Amino acid sequence: MSNNDILKKLRVALSLNSDQIIEICALVGFKITKSELSDIFRKDDHPNFKKCGDQILRNFLNGLVIYKRGPREPQS
């Protein structure tokens, strides 16, 4: 299973739209555009298809933790 497949399945399972995915990535300081996202969600035989790299998926997952649970509490 590729990173593209994982991101697609998470988008569907969590009912996320492109704006929400961009917002989630921004929570960890990672910028991605709508056009980059649409290229990632294309079929792999499409001419504008873009592979989802480890960095994109890692930042999305880290942002998703913050999006769902909130920011980490400071340690005392």
Which among 32, 33, 31, 51 is positioned nearest to 41, based on CA atoms? 51
Q: Tell me what pLDDT residue 21 has.
A: 97
Neighbours of 52 (CB within 10 A): 20
Written as tens digits, the pLDDT of the chain (76 aa) is 999 999 999 999 999 999 999 999 999 999 999 999 999 999 999 999 999 999 999 999 999 999 999 877 777 6
Two tokens, residue 29:
């300081």
pTM above the 0.85 mark?
yes
Q: Tell me what pLDDT residue 64 has.
A: 96
Q: Tell me what pLDDT residue 74 has.
A: 77
DSSP H stretches of helix in 14-69:
18-26, 34-40, 54-69
Q: Tell me what pLDDT residue 73 has.
A: 78
